[in-house]
Structure 1
Amino acid sequence: MTSAQLGIFKVPDIDNEPMRSYGPGSPERKGLEEALAQMEEDMPFEVPCIVNGKPIKSGNVFQQKIPFDHARDLCYYHEANQKIITDAIDGALAAKEEWETLPWNDRAAIFLKAAELASGKYRYKLMAATILGQGKNAWQAEIDAAAELSDFFRFGVKFVEELYSQQPPKNSPGAWKNVFSRVEYRALEGFVLAVSPFNFTAIGGNLPGVPALVGNVVLWKPSPAATYSNYILYQLLEEAGVPPGVIQFVPGPPAEVVAQAISHPLFAGLHFTGSTAIFKKLWKDIAQNLDIYKGYPRIVGETGGKNFHVVHSSADVENAVFQTVRAAFEYQGQKCSALSRLYVSSSVWNAGGFKEKLLEQVARIKVGSPLKFDNFVGPVIHKASFDKILGYIEKAKAADGEILIGGTGDDSVGYFVQPTVILTKDPKSVTMVEEVFGPVLTVYVFEDSDYNSTLDLVDSTSQYALTGSIFASNRKVLVDSTNRLRNAAGNVYYNEKCTGAVVGQQPFGGARGSGTNDKAGSISIFYRFVSARSIKEGFVGLKEYEYPSNLM
């Protein structure tokens, strides 16, 4: 039953969550250290599926290991089975009408409260789980599990307020006067499947949060390597007031969970972040099921990247070096936006000192447990990732790539790969083309006179088009380069690193093999999870059926 709408409500002013420093002796470092110590004392945790607000234990148990100390388990979780998924879908559909018809101001209040919980009560707990389970250092965990998560919820509410306010600007004059038109933004008919990745706890909140905020019900399948932080996030949403059944928490085997969800007639949408190969397969599988669906499902995906920095001869060398180190090696290169292709003008690389400065800074990077605050690089997420990254380094060596620094790894305790810089003479060598998703940067040095043809290389080398940066002090170079690289990246930066898009400031997403470019962190993403309905009401009826042109 629809509740009365007794007023027009305005969302409070929204701003980005302030970052805390976690410097020595700071209260926030003390709070985080206490949360980490408590979590280490209490682990391993048991994580059930949550269906209709109730914990369900399937008995089919898997472990989430600590990637920097893989002998220890952070949690063990119950994988959803066929019956659990069936119950989750049925329960979500049963909860849909009440959730969709809940007044907008009440849905908004729930997510604004969730933002306050994420930035307050749950801040250090979420960060601790992200550090232990996903191997982030304190700063990266702060960016992700505290700031970006809060921003997604707060700005999401603001964007939906703007979406709902978009109404027809005009009603027909003359013969059609006394007519009133309006637009409703309905939830999709059915349920949405959200499949979230390991590398951002905030994405774990945003993927189910976006469709839920506009009245959809959601099955949420978290990444096995982020299960515990995502479970805490589910508890946060529950405390904020998300009703039972609206978001069903179903960890489990990706292929089985997804296959069952997308084979249901009321599957209405996919919100996905993960690999390009998996996303393409899901798209094909959904297409094969079109005849069974009640409608056409919305497919929204943010996938891989092979992101670039282009350093022109006019660039500020020191800035370009520091930005490059950050972009390539923060969070061990495990960001879809991470830098992996570096194109440097020969005059900058040699006489300009770029090579010397770059290697000097990379040599300074400390690698190790994120529990030690002075470590900049931590572990990669698991054994499969470790093996894949070292495999790419070996492929680069076999293709005559020169390892300038790094190139080694050690998985005896944790999955640590040393920050690696490869120099190649082949701009289409394997580590310039394929996504590595680790702390590996490949450099191609071009002659200053070949700048324009190098931009063509940047544009044509990779299947991806996610992020890229141009470093130059010449404004014409920046503009011309951007035009030439028009389709090479969905997020472009001038004299800034290619990572670090901020909600509400740089809408994030790319095209080509990098996804559907629906721009997380903006109003655009919300259009994909609503189905608009136009309503026209006449106040004065027609007196006859003939047109004025029929008159003689």
Structure 2
Amino acid sequence: MSHGIFKVPELRNEPVKNYAPGSQERTELKKALADARSRIIEIPQYIGKEEVFSQNRQAISPPHDHQHILGYFHEGSSEDVRKAIDVALEARQKWASLHWEQRAAVFLKAADLIAGPYRSEINAATMLGQSKNAYQAEIDSACEIIDFLRLNVNFMRDIYEQQPVSSDGVWNRMEYRPLEGFVFAITPFNFTAIAGNLPAAPALMGNVVIWKPAFTQVYSAHVIMKVFKKAGLPDGVINMILVDGPIAGEIVFKHADFAGVHFTGSTKVFQTIWKTIGENISGYKTFPRIVGETGGKDFVLAHRSANAKALATGLIRGAFEYQGQKCSAASRAYIPSNLWEEVKELILGDLAEIKMGGVEDFGNFVNAVIDEKSFDKITSYIEQAKNSSDAEIVTGGNYNKEKGYFVRPTVIQALKSDYVTLCEEIFGPVLTVYIYDEDQFEEIITVIDNTSPYALTGAIFSEDRYAIQYATENLVNSAGNFYINDKPTGAVVGQQPFGGARSSGTNDKAGSVLNLLRWVSPRAIKETLLSPVNYKYSFLTGE
């Protein structure tokens, strides 16, 4: 077989379509939405070459119209988990030994399929299944997943090119082997792109994967699996199981061939996973890789020099796009006393004209939260604020779940810097602001750093470079992604590698070389070109 040192398609981010009235993409997406609503589909598990249907069918409904049935997914069992592991391990050797450019071609083709014939389908699935508006779906389930798939190929090649130096008479080489065993990918509801990347990134590096998507994201996960299959992904490389977390974990985390977990979800669940892995550590063939991106309590800090309009816009977009259901969403804001009244009026003006409703109406900026459990949690914080002497509702506070799980964008003003909604993750359209004395900028930075256990994203708005530098330096451990004069959301693959530390995860930066390095086990090879034939060193020779 002939070989070559292959170049890969150049680094570039997928352009975001705007879905303006009259555009082709808007027409195609509207048709895809109508088609999806007009039929009921059955979603199986994908285990090896089989599409596994069970007797345990679970309904899928749009969060904004929970009486409508989009389809059913077939929930699996512990036996399905065992079978998926066996199938993956059977596929491992052949996939791991496949030349890297062949693996790359599968995921490059998947990216082109999503960019082209599957774009409207995956966006419509995300809009209906996860209640995202057209723009939020476009930047997630189209552009971001395309970027992950394409740019990861570049990052993979960069890794393989990292080779050691060689001295005279020696040729040193570094192999980047896949992990020994299988990887368990656990993905969340809120980003289709994350759901696709978490199994795809380890698979690109030659690993086999058991993928468990969130039940509330299965509708678009099904499209991802269809795309992977269409792109030529061999059977058994990525196996999608639809099994409750504890059932899957009981088997996966006790299996000797468990080699790593790629996780996005809650901090509490990740801590439980880490503890479970520790309890079973002596039973594994190798020390598993543990990669996780978890919760956030993301801050926006305004300096007294900030542009009020830019700040208000950053808060509106950062806090309320996708109903605040982003781990990076602006959840707490610290605004100086000299700006609050102006900023408040701007926020109230924007929220007065923002429309809320189903995703099929492209005029709706805000849609529904993901499910009833989330709705109840979010509204409990709102009710607590209504009844607290330490907080007041500035705007919003209304909600209704009769047709869909709708929570009106809510701004709470906390009167104490440690009020609960400044500290705890809510994961909904709730922004808490704290007004500080404009002359106490340095003091409020200390408060921000110590208020929350999380360290995912943060932002500062300021026109004062000294203030920007001071905040950047003194909030160095408070956010893995830090934004200056911008909202703390919207990381772009390859431009702002994403991840945080503290209780926000292992900070392995999805969308960068750093993440892919976690899914390889390097082997150093030294070849001596002329081997010594005598044990004696020169220093042994007499004077």
Relative to the length of structure 1, the TM-score reads 0.97
Matched, 1:394 2:383: yes
Give the C-alpha shift of residue 398 in structure 1. Answer: 3.1
Task: Count residues with an aligned counterpart.
Answer: 541
**What's the % identity of the aligned pairs?**
49
Contact persistence 1:194–1:220 (CA under 8 A): yes
Report the secondary structure of 1:347's partner residue. coil
Specify the alignment match of 2:412 in structure 1. 422
Contact persistence 1:78–1:252 (CA under 8 A): no
Report the secondary structure of 1:140's partner residue. helix
Specify the alignment match of 1:300 in structure 2. 291
Q: Please point out which of 453, 456, 460 is paired with 2:450.
A: 460
Question: AA paired with 2:58?
Answer: F
Deviating 4+ runs (over 6 angstroms): none
Distance 1:216 1:390 in 2: 42
* Uncovered stretches (5+) of structure 1, i.e. residues with no partner: none
Report the secondary structure of 2:304's partner residue. coil
Distance 2:395 2:538 in 1: 82
The 5 Å alignment of 1:499-538 reads 499-538=489-528
Note the alpha carbon deviations across 1:253-275, whole angstroms, 9 max, x for none: 11111221111100000000000
Question: AA paired with 2:3?
Answer: L
Give the C-alpha shift of residue 73 in structure 1. Answer: 2.0
Specify the alignment match of 1:477 in structure 2. 467
Contact persistence 1:465–1:512 (CA under 8 A): yes
Matched, 1:110 2:100: no
Specify the alignment match of 1:274 in structure 2. 265
Note the alpha carbon deviations across 1:210-253, whole angstroms, 9 max, x for none: 00000000000011001010011001001111100000010121
Specify the alignment match of 1:85 in structure 2. 81
Matched, 1:36 2:25: no
Specify the alignment match of 1:99 in structure 2. 95
Give the C-alpha shift of residue 546 in structure 1. Answer: 2.5
Matched, 1:439 2:435: no
The 5 Å alignment of 1:103-502 reads 103-168=99-164, 170-172=165-167, 177-350=168-341, 353-400=342-389, 401-502=391-492
Give the C-alpha shift of residue 448 in structure 1. Answer: 1.1
Deviates more, 1:61-70 or 1:241-250: 61-70
* Uncovered stretches (5+) of structure 2, i.e. residues with no partner: none
Distance 1:272 1:13 in 2: 29
Distance 1:347 1:371 in 2: 41
Give the C-alpha shift of residue 5 in structure 1. Answer: 5.5
Contact persistence 1:80–1:257 (CA under 8 A): no
Question: AA paired with 1:470?
Answer: I
Give the C-alpha shift of residue 25 in structure 1. Answer: 1.1
Q: Please point out which of 533, 539, 542 is paired with 1:549.
A: 539
Deviates more, 1:73-82 or 1:411-420: 73-82
Contact persistence 1:467–1:489 (CA under 8 A): yes
- Quick one: structure 1 residues 310 and 5, their matched pair in 2 at CA, closer, same or farther if it must change by over 3 Å? farther
Report the secondary structure of 1:519's partner residue. coil
Question: AA paired with 1:63?
Answer: A
RMSD: 0.9
Give the C-alpha shift of residue 59 in structure 1. Answer: 1.3
Give the C-alpha shift of residue 291 in structure 1. Answer: 1.0
Give the C-alpha shift of residue 38 in structure 1. Answer: 0.8
Give the C-alpha shift of residue 478 in structure 1. Answer: 0.6
Note the alpha carbon deviations across 1:378-422, whole angstroms, 9 max, x for none: 000000000000001122233321101001100000000000000
Relative to the length of structure 2, the TM-score reads 0.99
Question: AA paired with 1:178?
Answer: G
Distance 1:181 1:328 in 2: 51
Distance 2:538 2:134 in 1: 73
Give the C-alpha shift of residue 370 in structure 1. Answer: 1.0
